[in-house]
Amino acid sequence: PRKIIIDTDPGQDDAVAILLALASPDEIEVLGLTAVAGNVPLELTARNARIICELADRRDIPVFAGCDAPLERSLVTAEHVHGRTGLDGPDLPEPTMAMQDRGAVEFIIDTLRREPARSVTLCPLGPLTNIATALMKAPDIATRIQEIVLMGGAYFEVGNITPAAEFNIYVDPEAAEIVFGAGVPITVMPLDVTHKALVTTARNDAFRALGTPVGVAVAEMTDFFERFDKEKYGSDGAPLHDPCVIAYLLQPELFEGRFINVEIETRSQLTLGMTVADWWGVTDRAPNATFMGQIDAEGFFALLTERLARL
Ligand code: BDR
Ligand code: CA
C-alpha cells in the first residue's frame, strides 16, 4: 500500500476523507494524522481527528498536533460552515485516545527522513502551515516526498471565503507559496473539482442506508454541512472537498486535469490567497502542479459508499 500522512483540520469533509483512507488498507497505509488550525482552532481539530479514528475503531493511528496559527497572519476559521466544534451534526463521544507527544512538524520531518526516499505521500486537507513549516525547517525533505496531493484553491470556480480565494489557501497564503514553490510533485483538488462532488439527497440516503455507525455519522455530518452550500450557492448538496484527495489515490482515473503553473497571491488585499492557475498556458512560467478540473462524480460516490460500508 501507498504510505500517506493526512494533514487535516476536521471539518466534516476532512472526516469523510480520513474514513475513506482508513477503509482502504489494501491501497493506503495511513502513517499518521497531523492536525492543523483551520476550520476551527487546533485544539478542536486535534480532538476531531481522534474522534474519527475512534469512530473507525482505529485507536492505533497516531495523531499529532501541529501549528496553531498561520505563518504570518491571524487564524481565520470557518464555524459558519462546520459549526462550533468543526464536526457539528452527529453526536459522537469525546475521544479517549491520547495525542502523541511529538509535534506534527517533527513527525512529518522524521517520517520523511526515515522512510525510503519518494515513498511517502502528503495529503494536506487544510491550510498548509504544517507542511510549509516542515519544508522550512528541513529543506532536505523536499526531494524525499513522493507527491503532495492537496485540497485547495480554485480557478474557474474562484472563491468560497473571499470572491477570489478558496479557504485553505486563503488562511495561510505564505505557507501555500512555500509549498507550491518547493519543487515537489503536486496534485491539486480545487473547488473546480470539489463543487462537482455534491452529496445529493439520494447519495446521502445511501450513506445512511449502510446502517452502520460510520454510515449514519457520515449522513449526519453531511446533513449539517450541506445547509451552508445549499443556502449560499443554491447547490444540490454538500461538496465533499477533502475526500477527493483520497479518492485520487485510489482511482486517479476519476479525475482529469492539466499540469500547469500555479502561483499564490500573497500581497493584494482583494485577491489574497488566490491560486493564479495558468490553465491556458498564456505565460512562460514553468508548470509546478497538476491542477484538476473534472471528476466522475458518479464513480466517486460509488467508490466512497462501497468503502465506507467496509468500516
Ligand atoms: C476546504 O475548506 C474547509 O472548510 C474544508 O474542510 C475544505 O478543506 C474547502 O474550501
Ligand atoms: Ca479541510
pLDDT in tens, 9-32: 999 999 999 999 999 999 999 999
| Per-residue pLDDT at 286 | 98
**Ligand 1 touching residue 151 (CB < 6 A):** yes
d(CA 295, CA 133): 31
Residue 273 has pLDDT above 90, yes or no: yes
Higher-confidence position of 216 and 225: 216
Query: What was the pLDDT predicted at 232?
Result: 72
Which bound ligand lies closest to the C-alpha atom of 8? 2
What mean pLDDT is predicted for residues 216-232?
A: 85
Which pLDDT belongs to residue 51? 98
- Residue 261 grid coordinates: 503553473
What is the rounded CA–CA span in Å between residue 183 and residue 194? 25
- pLDDT, one tens digit per residue, over 96-120 is 999 999 999 999 999 999 999 999 9
**DSSP 3-state assignment of 78?**
coil
Task: Give the pLDDT score at 228.
Answer: 72
Interatomic CA distance for residues 65 and 70, integer angstroms: 14
Ligand 1 atom closest to 82 (CA):
4
Burial track 4-16 (b if 16+ CB lie within 10 A, e otherwise) = bbbbbbbbbbbbb
The CA distance from 88 to 137, in Å, is 35
pLDDT score, position 226: 76
Q: What is the pLDDT of residue 235?
A: 75
Give the confidence band of 66 by pLDDT, cuts at 50, 70, 90.
very high
State the distance from the centre of ligand 2 to the C-alpha of 109, rounded, in angstroms: 21
- Using the mean position of ligand 1's atoms as its centre, give its distance from the Cα of residue 242 in Å: 7
Q: So what's the pLDDT on residue 234?
A: 75
Q: What is the pTM of this model?
A: 0.98
80 is catalytic: no
Average pLDDT over residues 76-89: 96
236 pLDDT band, cuts 50/70/90, is confident
> Can you give the three-state secondary structure of 128-197, one letter per residue?
CHHHHHHHHHCHHHHHHEEEEEEECCCCCCCCCCCCCCCHHHHHCHHHHHHHHCCCCCEEEECHHHHCCC
The grid cell for 26 is: 489494501
Rounded distance between C-alpha atoms, residue 125 and residue 303, angstroms: 19
Using a CB cutoff of 5 Å, list residues around ligand 2, an ion: 9, 11, 14, 125-126, 242
Task: Give residues with Cβ within 8 angstroms of 234, minimum separation 6.
Answer: none
**Contact indicator for 208, 216 with CB cutoff of 8 Å:** yes
| pLDDT, greater one: 262 or 236 | 262
**Atom number of ligand 1 nearest to Cα 194:** 9
9: CA distance to ligand 2 center in Å? 5
Minimum mean pLDDT among 80-89, 230-239, 268-277: which range?
A: 230-239
Residue 124 has pLDDT above 80, yes or no: yes
**Buried-state track 77-98, b at ≥16 Cβ within 10 A, e below 16:** bbeebbbebbbbbbebeebebe
Q: What are phi and psi of 269, to 5 degrees?
A: -65, -40
- Quick: pLDDT tens for 280-302: 999 999 999 999 999 999 999 99
> Cβ distance 68 to 157 under 8 Å?
no
* Among 196, 182, 180, 195, residue whose Cα is nearest residue 275: 180
Ligand 1 pocket test, pick from 9, 169, 191 with the greatest ligand atom count within 8 Å of Cβ, gives 9
Helix (H) or strand (E) holding 213: helix 213-233
- The one-character DSSP state at 286 is P
- Nearest CA among 3, 7, 27 for reference residue 17: 7
Residue 204, all three cell numbers: 446521502
pLDDT(225) > 90: no
The alpha carbon of residue 41 and the mean position of all alpha carbons in its chain are separated, in whole angstroms, by 16
